[in-house]
Amino acid sequence: MKAASSSFILVSPESHFPIQNLPYGVFRRRDGGGAHSGVAIGDFVLDLTVLEDKGFFDGPMLGNRRPFGAGRLNAFLSLGKDAWTEARSTISRLLRADEARLRDDAALRGNVLIPRAEVVMELPLDIGDYSDFYSSLEHATNVGTMLRGADKALQPNWRYLPVAYHCRASSIVVSGHDFPRPRGQTKPDGADAPIFGPTRALDFELEMGAVVGVGNRLGEPIRIAEARDHVFGLVLLNDWSARDIQAWEYVPLGPFLSKSFCTTISPWVVTLEALEPFRVAGPVQEPTPLPYLSTEGPQSYDIHLEVHLQTGKMDRPQRICAANYKHLYWSLAQQVAHHTVAGCNLRPGDLLGSGTISGPTPDSFGSLLELTWRGARPLTLPNGEQRSFLQDGDAVTLTGWAQGDGYRIGFGEATGRVLLPAV
């Protein structure tokens, strides 16, 4: 996985955004102006909206459609894989070290290359629908063991289908959004009746989100062989969870207030095309999935993931766990195929959460629920503080990348901070 080309923009080997990546986002300049589409390259954002106005996207798929002026990426996503490939080819060519068109035009560079420090990132998509899967065998086993014991950890259906539930899209926010500690009903151990108040068991969940590109018509399922063609790319996703509210409310229909208060995603959408060199086999699936979920070839991605925690008393974040996307038992293609097999229609900009990603070792568990084993084994931080669950003022940052030979395909960060509870 060596770097295939280089940019005239200096990019360090540790940067998340080399020319091999080119993730898409939506931004505003700090000094004013509307929302523009862009791609990240090193420490800069390339303004696609301005490039489009200047006629740079003149190929057969993009020339008359002008998808980058809408302030969100949905119009671009709806054009499909050929348009995505055409745009990536145009952008990559403009940024190459041996291409003079942008490199040698100082006025143009000043107009379309903006330091990332001078922009504010926005939610890149209008997210119409959001579904969250439960696709990590290790996570499901850990949680099931806590609730039902090791012999009944997995529900009978778990190895036969990608379990999921429909979530709240309106409370999805972009990295950097702080949120108040949620309130709701909880039922303390031994109590006869529930009480109302702030959650005492606030948690993060290390996930990734798949961004749907071209959707499907109602009643027309997406075949698994074509599923990846319907996914534009991936983002980091933190599905914050109030565990004590969830424990009281989830029977019989599942999570509600415990999940709907906030979900954080990273601002940059990394395309599946950029991740293609890192496609790997996922876990062996036993029993063999039903035919509509059966696939051939590598179906997962080798993406290193980390979670960092910084309390109000710490001067820097501390890594508290590391996992990998390739640990997911159910693949992205299987999630898409199952989501649509009954006839559900996906639409451009829809988001599919992977579910918490946990690995096989205790330091790879993707939630505090698992890392502290339901609070029984608190984490001790470098300054001596301990955490069973998140406290007010705590900031959690998700990050991740696929590591190539001398370059990274990175996702940036997804950060959120817990504030005092809302009144």
Q: What angle do CA 71, 68, 398 make, to 5 degrees?
A: 65
* Short-list 174, 254, 226, CA closest to 415: 174
| HEC profile of the chain | CECCCCECCCCCCCCCCCCCCCCEEEEEECCCCCCEEEEEECCEEEEHHHHHHCCCCCCCCCCCCCHHHCCCCHHHHCCCHHHHHHHHHHHHHHHECCCHHHHCCHHHHHHHEEEHHHEEEECCCCCCCEEEECCCHHHHHHHHHHHHCHHHCCCCCCCCCCCEEECCCCCEEECCCCEECCEEEECCCCCCCCEEEECCCEECCEEEEEEECCCCCCCCCCCHHHHHHHEEEEEEEECCEEHHHHHHHCCCCCCCHHHHCCEEECCCEEEHHHHHHHEECCCCCCCCCCHHHCCCCCCEECCEEEEEEECCCCCCCEEEEEEEHHHCCCCHHHHHHHHHCCCCCCCCCCEEECCCCCCCCHHHCCCHHHHCCCCCCCEECCCCCEECCCCCCCEEEEEEEEECECCEEEEEEEEEEEECCCC
Q: Is 139 a catalytic residue?
A: yes
Q: From the candidates 36, 139, 327, 339, which is the catalytic residue?
A: 139
Which residues participate in catalysis according to the annotation? 139
